[in-house]
Structure 1
Amino acid sequence: MVMVRGSCYFCGAEVEFPDKIFSKDSCPKCKRDLHACVQCRFYEPEAANQCREPMADFVRDREKRNNCTYFEFAGRRQADSRAEDARQRLEELFKKK
């Protein structure tokens, strides 16, 4: 079984769930929604629709749970997200084909 591990975007608590994060799942510490745009690896405030997934539907409140089928848990804290996004973009830019 694959475990989903990471940190809550809001409080930084370590979270671990079997298989995947579902829309009903919340952080055991702060009780905030885990299946929310700000918790997703595609979340990008500067991108169109604030999402790097071009096929994703518009979501009004990025901090609340949603049913986006493209959701992938990022597992990073709020303070870490910008640095991680920049690092990921650099890796994608220079990866070998």
Structure 2
Amino acid sequence: MERKYGQHGYMDDDRDREREKPRQKPKGGPRGSKAKEGPRAMKMPGFQEVLRCALCGAIVPPPVEIVYDSRCPKCKADLRSCRNCRHFDTAARFECTQSIPERITKKDLRNNCKFFTARVSIERETRDSGGSGASGGSSPTTKPSDARSAFDNLFKK
């Protein structure tokens, strides 16, 4: 049957049957895989479990045992509160994913909820900036005046 139009999609049934050939799979593994010998270089930093204050965002020191009167070391907010709980969800009924009998109105004040579990997040470990001075030899405690003078020194003749 002669085709009136040459566009893709017009009477493609006949064309597909003529051109249909079984494809051969390429030899080897997936594209781009190279056999590497030995361990890979460490490009990914480690991870750590961190408890942050829901009010100020400060990291609570590692022995994270939250008791009834635990407080944030920075802002002194109560840590045993709904906002620091793993089950706190503003979209859930009574703003808690557990089945609590009544709503706790003050979410940032301490309470004695039996479902309380500290909200721990996993964050990437980062190093302190300016460790060895390899990025330019400047000290990690530079003052704005030092930075300004360094900038001015770039354009002096």
- Assess same fold via TM > 0.5: yes
Pick from 64, 70, 83: which aligns with 1:38? 83
1:61 corresponds to 2:106: yes
Q: Which residue of 1 aligns with 2:73?
A: 28
| Structure 2 Cα separation of the partners of residues 33 and 9 of structure 1 | 9
Q: Which has the larger radius of gyration?
A: 2
Q: For structure 2, which runs of at least 5 residues remain unmatched after alignment?
A: 1-48, 122-157
Q: Alpha carbons of 1:73 and 1:47: their partners in 2 closer, same or farther (altered >3 Å)?
A: same
1:6 corresponds to 2:51: yes
Q: Which residue of 2 aligns with 1:85?
A: none
Q: Alpha carbons of 1:6 and 1:31: their partners in 2 closer, same or farther (altered >3 Å)?
A: same
One-letter code aligned to 1:16: P
Q: Which moved more, 1:33-42 or 1:53-62?
A: 53-62
Q: Alpha carbons of 1:69 and 1:17: their partners in 2 closer, same or farther (altered >3 Å)?
A: farther
- TM-score normalised by structure 1 residue count: 0.66
Q: Kindly indicate whether structure 1 or structure 2 has the higher relative contact order, using CA contacts under 8 Å at least 6 residues apart.
A: 1
Q: For structure 1, which runs of at least 5 residues remain unmatched after alignment?
A: 77-97
Instruction: After superposition, give the CA deviation of every residue in 1:10-65 in whole Å (9 maximum; x if it has no partner).
Output: 11111026362112001000000100001101000110010001146421201100
Pick from 4, 16, 23: which aligns with 2:61? 16
- Identity, % of aligned positions: 33
- TM-score normalised by structure 2 residue count: 0.42
Higher helix proportion (structure 1 or 2): 1
